[in-house]
DNA sequence: TCTTTTATAGCACACTCCTGCTACATCGTG
DNA sequence: CACGATGTAGCAGGAGTGTGCTATAAAAGA
């Protein structure tokens, strides 16, 4: 067996196996044996990259957060220049902003998968302090992102004048979380597409 | 040892033990042994009331749903006559409606406990079809409750005329779910009191 | 008093789990 | 060639799990 293996890639493969298991069987079914079966590796091999089972979960969560937040930042960096340039019509700018926030909704397979796993880890982190701090920063981050987005809209003068931006930030963050929760865990009751319509309508309601 | 034991009460005690364990250590720590320690009963005694471990979890969920929904109905039956009577001012009626919907937020110890356990079961139900159907009806129920509440407000003429009530029902349901999620799992980021303020403001925004 | 029902209690078995070790193969390097 | 580093593999132990089964205690009815 070869020696030239990229350890970072191996860890990612293992993290993906964790995601698959969480997705199809739930967090409680994640075990070294399940990961071994999922990846085709032997338990001993996995333990070569992670000394403890706890470490695997921890790493998987960090991987998840990193993927989501980096994709979000990517979209943000594509959005901001377009908005600042001033070449967009008001309607276009609003639609772009809505699309950006909709990035957090489970609108395709990738995001649905991430949403499911995210929720599973979020619940798990409640009683596992080791994981909790990762979410702490993340949840505050989305809250801050909402505030920034609203401030940006406000500077462009597209918001009603009577709005409490801090309040609207909490509201928007909660709405998106709720839309994600419902369309992820109960897609029959609220389809992801419907969730996006609701989000767009909410933003529309903030317009001045 | 006596024979006169109320079996229904025993089952409730066991269900409460399940809630306590979920609350303090997470769903994965629920086991016959843990329940036995929590209740002071022997495993054999518990198994006298529940043949299977799965059945305990199932019963606990049904107990939870029953408690929450019955308390909600209770409040609804107290609210409706007051609204229909027409003796309330518009502001009072709005405040009462907001209070009613806020019943779903973790504003006191009891509701916080229920919210935490609810979320834990909701996540668990995703991969456990046995539990899923219980939520199916429940989630549709809250959605329907939002629609009913909005229709009621609309009949009283306190809503803006341009609203899509079905859309607002989805929006309201998602907002409440999101507020509950955040103020339950991340109370440092969104306090329950703040969640109620956000909810009230949202309802205020629907006013015509 | 004898029998039946209800309740409590716990043993034993077959699982699954993580982890400390050890064994072995492969490759790069001295 | 030989040696150390890297990767793969798996055994064995101790802990934890649900469940079938049996044993015993107490109350109720004959």
Q: Looking at the predicted structure, is the pLDDT value of residue A103 above 60?
A: yes
pLDDT for residue A156 is more than 80: yes
Distance, CA of B13 to chain centre: 19
Residue A43 and residue A61 in contact, taking contact as beta carbons nearer than 8 Å: no
Q: Are the C-beta atoms of residues B169 and B192 closer than 8 Å to each other?
A: no
Q: Residue A207: is its pLDDT beyond 90?
A: no
Average pLDDT over residues A130-149: 95
CA B207/CA A88 separation, integer angstroms: 32
Q: Are A58 and A131 in contact (CB under 8 A)?
A: yes
> Which tokens go with A28?
């409680």
pLDDT at B2: 46
State the CATH class of domain A66-205.
mainly alpha
Tabulate helix, strand, coil % of chain B (nearest 5). 80, 0, 20
Per-residue confidence band for A4, with pLDDT thresholds at 50, 70 and 90: low
Tell me, what's the pLDDT at B3?
Answer: 56
Q: Cβ separation of B27 and A24 shorter than 8 Å? A: no
**Look-up of token digits 């302090």:** A129
Residue with tokens 């796993």: A117
Q: Which CATH architecture has domain A1-51?
A: Orthogonal Bundle (1.10)
* Mean model confidence pLDDT for chain B: 95
pLDDT single digits (tens) B35-83: 999 999 999 999 999 999 999 999 999 999 999 999 999 999 999 998 8
- Average the pLDDT over B1-18 and give the result: 84
CB contact (8 A) between residue B126 and residue A139:
no
**b/e map B116-138, b = 16+ CB within 10 Å:** bbbbbbbbbbbbbeebeebbeeb
Which tops the pLDDT comparison, A83 or A100?
A100
Q: Which of B136, B139, B174 sits opposite A198 (nearest CB)?
A: B174
Q: Which residues of A touch B174 (CB under 8 A)?
A: 175, 178-179, 181-182, 190, 195, 198
Mean pLDDT value across residues A157-184: 97
Residue range A179-194: mean pLDDT, rounded: 98
Q: How many Å lie between the alpha carbon of B28 and the closest alpha carbon of chain A?
A: 6
- Please say if the pLDDT value at position B86 is more than 90: no
Q: What architecture is domain B62-205?
A: Orthogonal Bundle (1.10)
B170/A123 touch (CB, cutoff 8 Å), yes or no: no
Q: What is the mean pLDDT of residues B142-168?
A: 95
Q: CA distances (Å), B104 to each of A46, A108, B62, B111, B146, in order? A: 44, 30, 17, 8, 12
Does A3 score more than 80 pLDDT?
no
Please state, rounded to an integer, the average pLDDT across all residues of chain A.
Answer: 94
**CA-to-C1' distance for B145 and D17, Å?**
41
Residue A1: pLDDT band with limits 50, 70, 90: very low
Phi, psi for B162 (deg, rounded to 5): -90, 10
Q: Is B186 exposed, middle or buried (0-12, 13-18, 19+ CB in 10 A)?
A: buried
| Nearest residue: Cα versus C1' of C28 | A3
Mean pLDDT of B104-125: 98
User: How far in angstroms lies nucleotide C18's C1' from the CA of residue A29?
Assistant: 14
Domain map (residue ranges) of chain A: 1-51, 66-205
Q: Which of B26, B182, B189 sits opposite A127 (nearest CB)?
A: B26
Q: Radius of gyration of chain B from Cα atoms? A: 20
Nearest CA in chain B to A197: B167
**Angle at alpha carbon of residue B41, lines to B39 and B45, rounded to 5°:** 130
Q: What are phi and psi of B207, to 5 degrees?
A: -75, 145
pLDDT band of A85, cuts 50, 70, 90 = confident
Q: CB–CB of A123 and B185 under 8 A?
A: yes
Q: Strand C: which bases are under 7 Å from protein Cβ? A: 5-11, 16-23, 25-28
**Per-residue pLDDT at B131 exceeds 90:** yes
Q: What is the pLDDT of residues A23-70, one digit of tens each?
A: 999 999 999 999 999 999 999 999 999 999 999 999 999 999 999 999
For residues A93 and A193, the model is more confident at A193
Cβ neighbors of B192 (< 8 A, separation 6 or more) are B105, B106, B107, B112, B183
**Closest by Cα among A141, A197, A206 to A171:** A206
Per-residue model confidence (pLDDT) at position A89:
86
Q: Could A127 and B174 be called an inter-chain contact, meaning their C-beta atoms sit closer than 8 Å? A: no
Percent of chain B exceeding pLDDT 70 equals: 98
């Amino acid at each position: 067996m070869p020696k030239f293996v990229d350890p970072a890639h191996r860890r990612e493969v293992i993290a993906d196996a964790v995601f698959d298991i969480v997705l199809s069987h739930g967090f409680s079914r994640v075990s070294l044996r399940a990961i071994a079966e999922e990846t085709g590796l032997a338990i001993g091999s996995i333990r070569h990259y992670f000394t403890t089972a706890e470490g695997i979960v921890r790493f998987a969560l960090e991987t998840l957060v990193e993927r989501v937040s980096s994709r979000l930042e990517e979209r943000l960096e594509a959005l901001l220049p377009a908005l600042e340039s001033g070449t967009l019509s008001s309607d276009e700018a609003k639609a772009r902003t809505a699309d950006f926030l909709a990035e957090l909704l489970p609108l395709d397979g990738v995001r649905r998968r991430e949403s499911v796993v995210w929720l599973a880890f979020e619940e798990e982190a409640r009683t596992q302090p080791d994981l909790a701090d990762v979410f702490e920063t993340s949840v505050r981050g989305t809250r801050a992102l909402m505030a920034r987005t609203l401030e940006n809209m406000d500077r462009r003068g597209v918001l009603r004048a009577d709005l409490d931006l801090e309040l609207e930030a909490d509201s928007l963050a909660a709405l998106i979380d709720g839309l994600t929760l419902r369309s992820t865990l109960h897609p029959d009751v609220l389809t992801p597409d419907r969730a996006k319509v609701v989000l767009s309508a909410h933003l529309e309601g903030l317009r001045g």
